[in-house]
Amino acid sequence: MITMAAVDRFSLLYREISRSCSFYMEALAIVGAWYTVRKCVSLALDTYGVLRLHVIPKLSGETDLVKKYGKWAVVTGSTDGIGKAYAEQLAKRGVNIILVSRNKEKLEAVSRSISETYKVETDFIVVDFSKGRELYPAIKEALKDREIGILVNNVGIFYAHTDYFTNLSEDMLWDLIHVNIASATMMTHIVLPGMVKKKKGAIVNLSSGFCCQPAPMLTVYGASKSYLDYFSRSLHYEYASKGIFIQSLIPFVTSTNMVAFSSSMSKSSIFFPTAEQYASHAVSTLGLSIRTTGYWKHGIQRTLSECVPEWMWAKFALYLGRILRKEALAAKAKSE
C-alpha cells in the first residue's frame, strides 16, 4: 500500500510538472515567434529603406530639383572635396549655383568650370567663416534677391591631425566653433525665411560619422558634427509642415584633402570613396531621408559601428587616433 501511494504521488507530480512545462514551452514558442516576426519585419523595412535610398532613385531617373525646391543653390565650402562635388551634382541637374568659400581664385575657377560644363548660372561670395559674426550681414545682402531653393552647409575644418584636446590652440578651438557650428546656424537663419515664404526648400547639413560614436582625439570636431546632426533633425520636424526638407548627411571617411595627414585614409578605396563618388550618391537621397550617410557603403559602416559597444568603439578609436597622430608627427618631422 505504501509503495502504491508513493507511485500515485509521483505520477501526480509528473503530470503537474508536464502541464507546467507544456505551458512554459508554449509561452516560449509564442515569444520566439514574435521575436522572429519582428526581426523579419525589421529586416524587410531596412532592405526597403536601402533600395528606396540607393537603388530606386537611380532606376527611376533624376528628380527635378529646380521644380521641387527652386532655381538656386548655395553651397558653402565649395572649392574642394565634397562641397565642390555636391555643387557639380546639383548643377548637373540644372540648378544654378552660388559658391561660398574664402579663396577668391579657387571660387572663380570652380564657378567658371561649373558654368561651362553644365550650362547653368553661377555666382560666388568670398567669405572666411572663421572671422565670426560680423561677416553675415554682407552674406544676407548678397543673397536677398535670389530664389534660394537649396542650401548645403558643407564648410568645415578638421584637425591638422588627431590630437589631444589640451594640445589644441585657442585659435583652433574658436575656428572649429565658428566654421563648423556657427556657419550652418547663421546661413540657415539667413536662407530659411525665404523658403518658408515660398513654402518649399531644402537644407543639407554635412555632419559626420564621428557623431555616431565617441571620437577621442577628435573630440571637438566630433562634438561640432553632433551639433549639426541634432540641429538638422530638430529643425526638420519644426519646419516640415511648412514644406521645408532638412537633411542631416553623415558621411564616414571620404578621400579628400581633409584627411591628407593620413596616407591610408587619403587614398580612395572600397571603404573610402572619392568626393565625386560620394556626392553622386548623396544628392540622390535629397528629399528621401532626413538622416542618412548618403552612400550605401557608408551605411554598412554605420550599421556595424552601432553594433559595437561604446566602450569598445572608444578604446579602438583612441588607439587608432594615437597611431595616426604618431604617423602625422613623424611625417612632419621628416619634412622639416
- Residues annotated as catalytic (active site), given as ranges: 221
User: Cell match 573610402: residue?
Assistant: 272
Cβ atoms of residues 180 and 225 within 8 Å: yes
Q: How far apart, in whole angstroms, are the C-alpha atoms of residue 227 and residue 206?
A: 11
Q: How far apart, in whole angstroms, are the C-alpha atoms of residue 308 and residue 230?
A: 22
Cβ atoms of residues 104 and 123 within 8 Å: no
Cβ atoms of residues 177 and 99 within 8 Å: no
H or E element that contains 214? none
Q: Which residues pair with 285 in a beta bridge?
A: none
Cβ atoms of residues 177 and 227 within 8 Å: no
Please give the grid coordinates belonging to residue 234.
530638430
* All residues at 6 or more sequence positions from 221 whose CB lies less than 8 Å from its CB, including other chains: 158, 159, 176, 180, 208, 210, 215
155, with CB counted inside 10 A (0-12, 13-18, 19+), is: buried
Q: How far apart, in whole angstroms, are the C-alpha atoms of residue 125 and residue 107?
A: 8
82, with CB counted inside 10 A (0-12, 13-18, 19+), is: buried
Cβ atoms of residues 150 and 69 within 8 Å: yes
76: helix, strand or coil: strand
Q: How far apart, in whole angstroms, are the C-alpha atoms of residue 124 and residue 131?
A: 18
**CA distance readout (Å), 181 to 139, 235, 254:** 17, 15, 20
Q: How far apart are the first and last CA of the chain?
A: 102
